[in-house]
Amino acid sequence: MFKENAVILFQGDSITDTHRSRTDDRNLGEGYVNKINTLLQERYPERGIKVLNRGISGNRTVDLLNRWEEDCIKLAPDYLSILIGVNDTGRRYDSNDPTSADDFADRLRTIIEMSLNKTSAEIILLNPFLVDINENITHMREDLSDKQAAVKSLAAEYKTRFLDLDELFRTCARNGNPGDYAQDGVHPTSVGHALIAEAWLKAWAN
């Protein structure tokens, strides 16, 4: 699945950050990145895989773009996972600071092209998601849907891997309580993070 001594870099916002350390790369936070690393070390202990987490809570695509040289290119990842977009939507509703679908797509496109041109990384794009726990969260889909479409379109255009987390959570939530996966509709519970971790590893197995 992953080559020996591979560097796997995870990028995104608070869903990726999950209180990771800013000074110790061994502390990967409390979420899906840490769970993925644990599973990789258990399943492939001989491969020397190194996992890095550079998610930053509150980030939008503009923030990723501004720090991409330092927090991606210079790290020379072999595999790159990007989950971004829910804050591009969320700031429209809580701060009256919207990000248009075109700006979102343009910034993500630049991030992808920088990564392909300046590293040898294989990329997986994760679709931003919401878990429909109430009408206020569901209402935000009017903004998020175009951004989700942009992520899927860019994955197809650049032939990256793609993981539709929104569909994953929708499917699971239909069979149980949506709050079991994200109590606030945005940030996954431990169960939600475990779901992402298993789906992420499965996406690379194909």
Q: What's the mean pLDDT in 101-121?
A: 98
Of these residues, 14, 81, 115, 193, which one is catalytic? 14
Arithmetic mean of pLDDT, 148-168: 98
Strands 50-53 and 79-83: unpaired
The pLDDT value given to residue 206? 72
Q: Give the per-residue pLDDT at 175.
A: 82
Using a pLDDT cut of 90, give the percent of the chain over it: 97
Q: Does the active-site annotation cover 100? A: no
Exposure string over 177-201, b if 16+ CB within 10 A, otherwise e? ebebbbeebbbbbeebbbbbbebbb
What is d(CA 193, CA 172) in angstroms, rounded to the nearest whole number? Answer: 13
- Which pLDDT score, from 0 to 100, does residue 160 have? 98
In this structure, of 45-49, 131-135, 186-190, 202-206, the range with the lowest mean pLDDT score is 202-206
pLDDT classification of 176: cutoffs 50, 70, 90: confident
Residue 184 annotated in active site: yes
**Catalytic residue, candidates 97, 100, 184, 190:** 184
pLDDT category of residue 179 using cuts at 50, 70 and 90: very high
Q: Check pLDDT > 90 for residue 119.
A: yes
The answer to whether residue 115 is catalytic is no
Q: What is the pLDDT of residue 1?
A: 80
pLDDT of amino acid 113: 98
**Could you tell me the domains of the chain?**
7-205 (3.40.50.1110)
Pairwise CA distance, residues 94 & 130, whole Å: 16
- Reported pTM: 0.98
Report pLDDT for 78.
Answer: 98
Mean pLDDT of 21-47: 97
HSE (side-chain half, CA atoms, 13 Å) at 48:
5
User: Is the pLDDT confidence value at 140 over 80?
Assistant: yes
Segment 55-62 shows an average pLDDT of 98
